[in-house]
Amino acid sequence: MKTAMQEVLNLVKQMFYNADALKLELPASMLNDIINIIIQEGIPKEKEQIIKFCWECLKGDNIHTITSNKELIEYINDRFNQTYNQT
């Protein structure tokens, strides 16, 4: 699973690769298109994913055994890496 911003980045890269492959000059409106993709698609989805991720962390099996901030940070990092396939 990718975060919304990772998906948006892939869309933007794909737009540029397609334009380059077709030897097209990128129009000045391209930046506006990118901004609109991020605003309309990426940000709302990112917010939804963050809320869902926080909820999943709160109801996690090991959450009750955490006794320090360090353990909490490690737990959240592990959950994030598992959820979003990070290394």
The predicted pLDDT at position 70 comes to 93
Instruction: Provide the residue-wise pLDDT of the chain in tens; the chain has 87 residues.
Output: 777 888 888 888 887 777 766 666 667 677 778 878 888 888 888 888 888 888 888 887 778 888 899 998 998 898 888 888 765
69-83 vs 43-58: helix crossing angle, rounded to 10: 130
Question: What span, in angstroms and rounded, lies between the C-alpha atoms of 5 and 10?
Answer: 9
**Domain regions of the chain by residue span:** 4-83
Which pLDDT belongs to residue 24?
A: 65
Q: Please tell me the distance from the alpha carbon of residue 52 to that of residue 45, in angstroms, as a whole number.
A: 11
